[in-house]
Amino acid sequence: MVEAFFYQVIVTMVNVEMTNAPNLESVPNVEMTNAFVNNARNANNLARNEAVRRSRAEAVLAKDELKAKRAKEAANKANANARQAAVNRSKAEAAAAKAAARAKREESSPNNAAAKKAAENAKKAKKAAENAEKLAANAKKAAANAIVKNVDNKLKEIQNRTNINKTRMNKLGRMIYLRATKKVHPNSGGNQVSFQKLGNIYNKFKNFTGSSVRVEQELSNENRPR
């Protein structure tokens, strides 16, 4: 009787424990939960790092844009000065020719002095015009170089982006390149050296994106500046 009693107590205790035991099917998979949290944390960190990188890159590009804009303004100003210097030279040379003709026609000390003075002024105007022309050429070259550098930084920024694929990179880079060609192409006010640099930079970018289309193919007749 005693043994039967203790046996019944043990069975009852086991049943109670089984009843109060948690349902293992309803317990979340701890490993899967941790993996999900880690993935979410990593994705958040990547997004934050990308945002910081883009912010810094945009600041650099904005600075480059400002430099390019100022270089273009300087080139325009230098061109205007060169045009004015050419006009002044033309006027001075015309005045010198007129004074020389008058001195020859009416020879006198005052006329000879005036002719000599006009000739000196024409010489100075010629020198000023030549200097202005050189400054304009240098300013024009600087403006083209600023555009090329700006394109280089833009293409590098695209390459560093982690949220787009290479097909999208190639599309964005192509638009940037074609816009720049209209500014640095020799037929549209640019120069051959800057245009060649731009082409080399773009070809490197296309090698990165895996495109086999070269610069010569990109510049089709409808896109080639005239």
Chain segment 114-144, per-residue pLDDT in tens:
888 888 998 998 999 899 999 988 999 999 9
Cβ proximity of 78 and 139 under 8 Å: yes
- 12 vs 196, higher pLDDT: 196
Q: How much is the mean pLDDT over the chain?
A: 78
Nearest to 155 by CA among 196, 207, 216: 207
- Answer yes or no: is pLDDT of 186 > 60: yes
- The torsion defined by the Cα of 184, 185, 191 and 197, in degrees rounded to 10, comes to 70
Mean pLDDT across the stretch 166-185?
Answer: 94
**By CB neighbour count within 10 A (0-12 exposed, 13-18 middle, 19+ buried), where does 112 fall?**
middle
Tokens read off for 70: 């100022």
Check residue 49 and give its pLDDT.
Answer: 65
CB atoms within 10 A of CB 60: 14
Q: Helices 192-209 and 166-184, interaxial angle, to 10°?
A: 180
pLDDT at 226 over 70: no
Task: Among 32-41, 93-102, 177-186, name the most confident range.
Answer: 177-186
CB under 8 Å to 159, separation ≥6 — which residues?
Answer: 169, 205, 208
Give the pLDDT of residue 89. 87
Which of the pair, 217 or 125, is modelled with greater confidence? 125
pLDDT at 197 over 80: yes
List, for residues 146-167, the tens digit of each pLDDT value: 999 999 999 999 999 888 899 9
Which band of pLDDT confidence, cut at 50, 70 and 90, is reported for residue 10? very low
User: Quick one: average pLDDT of 93-97?
Assistant: 88
Give the residue with greater pLDDT, 3 vs 128: 128
What confidence tens digit (pLDDT) does each residue in 65-81 have?
777 788 888 888 888 98
Contacts (Cβ under 8 Å, ≥6 apart) of 96: 115, 118, 119, 121, 122
Burial 113-122 (b: 16+ CB within 10 A, else e): ebbeebbebb
Cα 171 from Cα 176, distance rounded (Å): 9
Query: pLDDT at position 92, please?
Result: 87
Predicted TM-score of the model (pTM): 0.65
